[in-house]
Amino acid sequence: MCWDEPVQLNGELSVYQLTWGAYHKNLSHNLTSYTISGLQSNSQYNVTLQAITAGGVGPPEWEVVTTDKGVNVGGIVAGVLVGVLLLAVIVAAVVFRDKLKDKLNKGTSPTLPPRELPMTPRQPSVANSNVKKNKLQEYLEYLEGDTQHGLEMEFSHINIQSPSLPAFAAKKDFNKPKNRFANIHPFDHARVKLSPISGVTGSDYINATYILDIYDKPYFIASQGPKQSTMVDFWRMVLEQRVYTIVMLTNVMEKGREKCAHYWPRPSESFINVGSYIVHNHREERRELYSIRYLEVVAGDQKRVVKQYHFTSWPDFGALERVTDLLDFMADIRSTMLANGDHLLVHCSAGVGRTGTFIGLWNLMDESDRDRRAESINIRQTVLKMREHRPIMVQSAEQFLYLTKCIAAYIEAPHLWSKYQEDNNHIYDNGAFEDDNPIYANTEGQ
């Protein structure tokens, strides 16, 4: 693909942002062409390009591109993005100018961000993405109709409006080996920080992010599946962040590749040592699609039982066949999870696709429960709000469609999956393991 340079800019051009399907890439401001590799043959893609300066992000230029049938597209040129990126970032410039005026009026000096990063406030405009609850089936028909062209367009809007924010910590050389995937980085402003270990560079870093609930509290932690080399950090995070419930949405191995380290004892083991932590599996309950484990982690004088819900039937990048599969799983967690704890830890392999779909559905269900009389629901806004904290949450269009189907089913019959079901047969009272003076504290805060 190729393009012309913008003819009118608000400040010096710093980077181009290229989006196709569920993928993003920042390109050097010196480029006027780029070859997209790895596209599937006989497939349609929405390709979008935006110019970014210190003043903000310009309006998108986009084109629908269809790859040839039967052609080797390993290095295919996706097509030509037409036109000139006119009047780039004028709107963002006004917002930026007004903010500068406010700071000057207060007698303070504005601090500009690094030139290579978009500075924009970029609150996505989602006023037109509200869906009437009684029109959800029509909305689903729109998404799935015409060979899912509506779904492609809707997901393209989400990708265009998703922010690209600084992730300096994740990209430091000493932290790179801790990332399971080279392109999934927690944004700096929302990353979970471990208590630093004296003399150990980067000891506060883990690939995990706080995600807000509907009350704008950082209730969720979205994490990658721990690697063998980060299992100690994973359990350190569980204790420091007062996690009592873990939701695992991946298998340890998928398609012959490790997707997550086996951070709890195998059936043949009574316990495992993870650094200075001892992890026991006290009990395991098996369901058709998932397992529930009661894992006790011991660190010195501190003990804690953590309840792990492990869903084993969700394909990577994809969705489940039935909405009831996830809704039943969600209802079980919401009605039986341990009550204590500050955060709900959710992870798959990368911590964005299945993890984002799960947290998104949780928030949409809570939103529906909070006001059953509300006429509309905003699924796109829910996804964008998560993406302001961690990139690519709800990774694929297929997952967005599945999320929409799930919340539509819940709104139609909320009583089937209410989180207020009572479970009075809890064998484990986790309070017995609570330490009023835990030896771990996140000294750097959130």
* Catalytically annotated residue among 2, 260, 348, 406: 348
Cα–chain-centroid distance for residue 319? 15
Helices (H), 10-135: 90-105
> Which residues are within 8 A (CB) of 401 and not within 5 positions of it... i.e. 6 or more apart?
140, 143, 144, 148, 151, 319
Q: Which residue is associated with the tokens 């303070």?
A: 108
E runs forming strands in 364-405 = 376-377
Helix (H, G, I), strand (E, B) or coil at 359: helix
282-303 exposure pattern, b = at least 16 Cβ within 10 A, e = fewer = eeeeeeebbebbbbbbebeebe
Q: Which amino acid appears at position 426 of this protein?
A: H
Q: Are strands 302-311 and 243-248 parallel, antiparallel or unpaired?
A: parallel
Q: With contact defined as beta carbons under 8 Å apart, do 191 and 208 qualify?
A: yes
- The sheet that has 191-193: what strands, in order across it? 191-193, 205-211, 220-223, 343-347, 243-248, 302-311, 290-299, 277-286, 271-274
Is the dihedral angle over the CA atoms 365, 367, 372, 375 positive or is it negative? Answer: negative
Helix (H, G, I), strand (E, B) or coil at 19: strand
406 as an active site residue: the answer is: no
Q: Both tokens of residue 224?
A: 């990658």
Q: What is the C-alpha separation between 134 and 143, in angstroms, rounded?
A: 16
Q: What is the C-alpha separation between 446 and 442, in angstroms, rounded?
A: 8
> Which residues are within 8 A (CB) of 187 and not within 5 positions of it... i.e. 6 or more apart?
165, 166, 167, 209, 389, 390, 391
Q: What is the C-alpha separation between 120 and 317, in angstroms, rounded?
A: 30
Residues identified as active-site: 348
